Amino acid sequence: MPGSFYLLLKSDTHRPPQPQGAEKNPSRYFNKTDLVEAVFKYVEETASSYSAGRRFDIKGGFPPKSFRGKLKSTVADADLANSRVTVHWLE
């Protein structure tokens, strides 16, 4: 899909237990013009059944950096497109 990117969310080892039948590594397409905030919202909604409002961060790149400070940036401007990202559950 031109103008979009595929996001496969892989959680770190501190992921809370998932309910039976939950998708292990949720994925979806985002437009490069979508805000990073939309990616965070997707994770929040996808994990709501097992995270119980637990705080998280999304990190990507090498070395991994947080995208939380770029919520109002587009996916393209934040260099999130075509990168591998991980959801980090915060204690």
- Looking at residue 28, which CATH number applies to its domain? 3.10.20.90
Q: Which of 25-29, 52-56, 75-79 has the highest mean pLDDT?
A: 75-79
Identify the domain containing residue 71 by its residue range: 4-89
Q: Is residue 83 predicted with pLDDT exceeding 70? A: yes
Q: What is the pTM of this model?
A: 0.74
Amino acid letter, 74: T
Task: Compute the average pLDDT of residues 44-51.
Answer: 74
The count of structural domains within the chain is: 1
Of the pLDDT bands very low, low, confident and very high (cuts 50, 70, 90), residue 79 is confident
Task: Compute the average pLDDT of residues 7-18.
Answer: 51
Q: What is each CA distance from 51 to 7, 32, 70, 74, in whole angstroms? A: 20, 27, 23, 26
